[in-house]
Structure 1
Amino acid sequence: MKLRWAGGVLLSLAAAYYVYSPLPSTVNEPWKLMLLDALFRSFIHVGDAAHALGICHSVHVLNSVVSRLEVIEARSSPSVSVTDSALGGVPVRVFQPVGGGAKLRRGVLYFHGGGWALCSGRMRSYDLLCRKMAEELDAVIVSVDYRLAPEAVFPDQFHDALTASQAFLSPEVLQSYRIDPARVGVSGDSAGGNLAAAVAQQISADDSMSVKFRVQALIYPVLQALDFNTPSYQQNHNVPILHRHLMARFWLLYLGADPSLLPHILSSPSSLLHPSILPAIRSHLNWTALIPTKHQKHYRPIATETGSREVTQEVPGLVDVRAAPLLAEQGVLGRTPQAYVMTCEFDVLRDDGLMYARRLQDAGVRVTSDHYDDGFHGCMAFAFWPFRFSVGQRSLGSYIHWLDHNL
């Protein structure tokens, strides 16, 4: 009996030690976030172990868990018709409000997050998000299932996003779904926000397209990989659910780069400050000028070191605007549509979004910057049971409200 009791105590202490993570006092519902992070980390550890043993890629383990627990069939409801289809050969899930006769509706093309390697538009959280958007906006929502790493690497995901966008904006598709060509938007979260921003730039610059996006709505987007030492990366490097090292791993996976480069892009010096980076590119990511002082706090740029490894020569995607939309020139940004950019205080990607919002504004684009002081990366996906956070519900409500008034 004593041995059982002692074993139970040890197991409880070990579980508490694993779950507990010191979090900022003002982050939304910290204990719930700790539990969520512990669950996510456990899946990552299992995936890494499987990878180390040569069983399968770590990402395959994570996506297997997602498929078993989250992916659901296309099920229609009395208010929303849900079907699986394709746009230009790219799989999509279409959400159409029931009824309405022959009237034209708004349309939104949505790209899911997941580091270009995880998740699916068929996941429960994205399915619920798109259903809610379709109902509350009385709009046709098309969720895109682009190819994923490691089987697909940049520019495959971008090409899928662009192909789906071009097909979505074609007069034939818009007519078939009864979508008003003057009221179409593109949106996405995290890596999906990256694809939405890149596609918005490409479509806006394509004079052969007769229909363009009216709005771009970017949810905590990832927009650059040259500086992993912005204030938000320094401040939130260990804040769930997107740790700094994990975001760097996703970038290397997306760009098809050697994983051994991880310490080189994470450690001092920043790739951005390497002497080989042109001043024009550096100015596009100059957070000391592009983000408000209140977000810079006491953080300073990391000084460069002589003789550091030049990763941009080994990974050219780091300076490709299709992968890093924040690097685009002002003339390109100025042609993109009205924007909504959501950022969260406790997110390594916070400054990516803040810099992009500022650069869009400087280029003459009308921008709504929506910041959550208690938010964390991915919070909008947690607006539904069982991991429901109040900041997730608030952010989702504001996002839909903005679309309703601007699309």
Structure 2
Amino acid sequence: MSAHDETTATTTIPTDTDRLAAAAWSRVAEPTDAAACALIGVLGPAPAWQWLSDGADPAELLHGDLAQPARRVITQARERWLPRVGDATPEADLDHIIRLGGAYIVPGDPEWPEILTDCADAPWGLWVRGQRQRLRDLGEDTLALVGARAPTRYGINATHAITAEAARAGHGIISGGAYGIDTAALRTALAYDVAVASVFAGGLDRWYPAHNASLFDGLIASGVAISAYPPRSRPARWRFLDRNWLIAALSAGTVVVEASARSGALNTAAHVRELGRHVGAVPGPIDSVMSHGCHTLLREGAQLITSGRDASEMIRPLGATRPARLPKRRGLLDGLDAHAARTLDAMPVASAASVSAIVRAAGLSASDVMVALAHLELAGRIAREGSMYRRVPTPKD
């Protein structure tokens, strides 16, 4: 049985109710909302949506005694989500994307990207337009190319050369849709018969930036446009940062071609490292502001990329004809924010600990630890035993 067959055989097929609920959640909660990810991950989208609609007690919903910090976090999150509940029109949103020739893909669908199954905070659904079967091709053999919106000629030429060589080697290419490096990578990749994808920071009913509309029309003819946001969602500034996480998560490695010291591409690189994926950077002239960010990444350990072959070898063992598979097991701290990761790491491996003991071991404030414990409990990473907390064993523990 192939890896694809094994995945399909053990995956729960989503129901229409699941899809509608996931679509509703995509209108109410941002895709990187940790509380929403934890709640939906534990309960599933439909029961979680039922709770949000009915206002059931969080402890009843989770079929057990819920620690007060976790109860408080989820109650506060509900207050954050409720103002948007009236905007949730999942049937209309699904009809809208279908009329655009697209679909809403959720875990369990055959098109769902397998690489996202390893991400603790993966979105609960993806809005797509174009050749959605290409989603399955994204993953361990895919390279992301990102960089400046106003690159130099050197940066554009480097992007063309690296993308073309990587595509000829069979790598899928993913990027954002911004001007500059993103545009150059997509235009080059579309000339090759490989998976090409662009991730958007708003709804797919209106191309952004509008001047790239012809590029995006070409993209959906042979590649795929992806968003975690439903139709009619505007591309707000914070959503570009969330979009960067999805670019990182859908690729095995990311190449930053040109980036200033404050470039958004560095945010993508940070997400790549948090996910345990490969980061590469293209060097540039030492007096070029547009290479300062790349040089910083190189000093911090990013791989030096000067060609498509370098990019290929970054994610494939030297001489391999197929990429090395990414690990299937979740690492202990994968998908956690800094405080939650530090709190979990400070807890004993095989015994329970009091809050005060965890505070001392983590070196965080009591309030920070209490919030972190609440998120960890919601995510199923720890369990409460009276006034003590214990790790929930993972396959690696």
Fold-level similarity (TM above 0.5): no
TM-score by length of 2: 0.25
TM-score by length of 1: 0.25
